[in-house]
Structure 1
Amino acid sequence: MQFEPWIVERVKARQGVLHPYDTLDAATTAFVVVDLQKYYTQPGFQGECAPARGIFDNVNKLAAAMRAHGGKVVWIKTNADGADQFWSHHHRHMLTPERSARRLLELSASHEGFEMPDTLDVQESDLIVVKRCYSALAPGASELDAVLKAHGIRTVLIGGTVTNVCCESTARDAMMLDYATIMVDDALAAVTPYEHEHSLNNWMLFFGDVLTVDEVVERLR
C-alpha cells in the first residue's frame, strides 16, 4: 500500500522510520485471520463481503509461510449464539429485528454460515479461536490473549475481513495489550476500497505497521 506523503512524514517523525520491523521472529509470531467464515465471505449470507473472496490465495500463502518458518496460524470465528443477550444493545438498537434474527441464525454454531470455506487452507496444526463480538481481544470476547501467551507470541499479523471492523478492532486491542501488531494489506478486505484504505491509513498513523504478504514473508526468520 502506498501512503500519502503527509502520512509517511508523520509516521517517520513519530518513530524514526516508516516500517519499524526489519525482521520477524516466526517462533514468536502469529498470523491471526479474522472472520473468513462463509457468513462473511460467501454469496447469499447477510454478512457477505464480496472482496474477501479475493484475498483467499494471499491468506493461504501467508499461512503456509508461517507454518514453514515455525510460526502459528490462528483462525478467528464469530459465533452469535446468545448474542441477543450478551450483546443485547447491538442486536436491539443497531440492527433491525430482521437483521438481528438473521445474524443470530446464520452465525450460530450449527449453521453453515459459521463454517470456513473449503478454499481456505485450514490445517490441523492451526489454532481456532471463537469470539463473541467485533474484537477477539475485548474483555470476555474470546480466549485469544491466553492462547497467544501460551504459545509465546509477541507479534501479531492481522488478516481477514472486514478490515475496518473486526480486523481493526482486534488489531487495536492487540496493540493496547503490548503485542507488536501488523495489518497485512493484501490479506485484508473491506466492503469498499475506501473503507479498507481509510482504516489502514489511520492504523499506520497511530497504532502499528502495514505490510503486504510478500513484505512479511521477506522479514520472516
Structure 2
Amino acid sequence: MERRVHAWRIEDREYERQEARRGRRHAFTKLVPERTALVVVDMVPFFVEENEYTFGIVPNITRIASILRSAGGAIVWVLPGAGEPSPVGDEFFGPKIAEMFRRSGGEGPLRSRLWHEFEVSDEDLLVEKTASSAFFPGSSLLPDLLKARGVNTVVITGTVTNVCCESSARDARTLGYRVIMVADANSARRDEDHNATLYTIYRTFGDVRTTDEVIDLIRA
C-alpha cells in the first residue's frame, strides 16, 4: 500500500486573523518535554490497513515518539475499547456496523493490538477508550494518568482526524491542556475532512503544527 500524507492547509486569512489577535501565528511557541504527552489515537490494523493516509502517517508518529521519549516526555498509545453494546449505536449505524466498530480495537494484550511498525517502550502508556474522545469523562484512564505525570501539553496524532482525534483535542482543551494537533501526523478519508478539522482546532481549540515543527519545539 502506498504511503500518502494529506495536502493540508490553513487559509492565509485565518493565520492573519490569529496574528492580529495575539501578535504571532502560533499559540504555543515553547513546550517543556517532561510536561508533554504525545497522544496517538486509534493506530490499529482496522484503520491503518484501509486508508493510505493512515498508513502514511506512521513514520511521522514514530519520529515524534522517539524524540519526545528521549527528551523525557510521555508517549500514550490510545486504542479503541470494546465497551458495552449501545442501543443508540445500533440505531445509528445498524447493529452489524455498530458491532464492527465496537470490535475495531482487536483483542489480546494492548501492545499486540497496535500497528506492527510501532516500537513501544516499557515506559510508554497504553490505554483504551470507550468513546470517540480519549479525554471524555469516564471513557478512559488517560486524564488521570497525565495528571499524575504533571502533563500540561498534549500533541494529538492518529486517526480519524475529524472524529476521534478532533473529539480528543476538543475535550483536552476543555480540561485545560495546551493542545497541538500535528497536521501531517493525523489522517482522515479526504483532504477536505482533514483540513476542516485543522481549521477548527487552529481557530478555537489549539495549535496546528507539522512534525518537523513539533520536533523543533521538543529539541529547543
- What's the TM-score once normalised by structure 2's chain length? 0.89
CA distance in 1, matches of 2:206, 2:159: 18
Equivalent in the alignment of 2:194: 196
Return the match for 1:150 from 117, 123, 148.
148
- Count of residue pairs the alignment pairs up: 211
CA 81–173 in structure 1, closer or farther in 2 if over 3 Å, else same? closer
Q: 1:108 deviation in Å? A: 5.0
Q: Deviations over 1:171-215 (max 9, x none)?
A: 111111111000011111111111111110111111110001110
Residue aligned with 2:57, SS: helix
Equivalent in the alignment of 2:120: 122
Matched, 1:37 2:54: no
Q: 1:142 deviation in Å? A: 0.4
Q: 1:22 deviation in Å? A: 2.2
Check the 8 A contact 1:49/1:162 in 2, yes or no. no
Matched, 1:9 2:13: no
Check the 8 A contact 1:31/1:72 in 2, yes or no. yes
CA 106–5 in structure 1, closer or farther in 2 if over 3 Å, else same? closer
Check the 8 A contact 2:106/2:113 in 1, yes or no. no
Equivalent in the alignment of 2:57: 55
Segment drifting more, 51-60 vs 117-126:
117-126
Check the 8 A contact 2:27/2:207 in 1, yes or no. yes
Return the match for 2:94 from 93, 96, 105.
96
Q: 1:50 deviation in Å? A: 3.4
Equivalent in the alignment of 2:4: none
CA 127–105 in structure 1, closer or farther in 2 if over 3 Å, else same? closer
The runs of 5 or more residues in structure 2 that have no matched partner are: 1-7
CA distance in 2, matches of 1:103, 1:3: 31
Return the match for 1:28 from 20, 25, 35.
35
Letter of the 1:9 counterpart: E
Q: 1:2 deviation in Å? A: 4.2
Equivalent in the alignment of 1:45: none
Give percent identity, aligned residues only: 36
Q: Runs ≥4 in structure 1, deviation > 6 angstroms?
A: none
Q: Deviations over 1:51-95 (max 9, x none)?
A: 10100000000000101111110000111242x1xx431x22221
CA 132–64 in structure 1, closer or farther in 2 if over 3 Å, else same? same
Segment drifting more, 9-18 vs 195-204:
9-18
Query: Could you say what the CA RMSD is over the residues aligned between the two structures, in angstroms?
Result: 1.9
Check the 8 A contact 1:76/1:131 in 2, yes or no. yes
Letter of the 1:15 counterpart: R
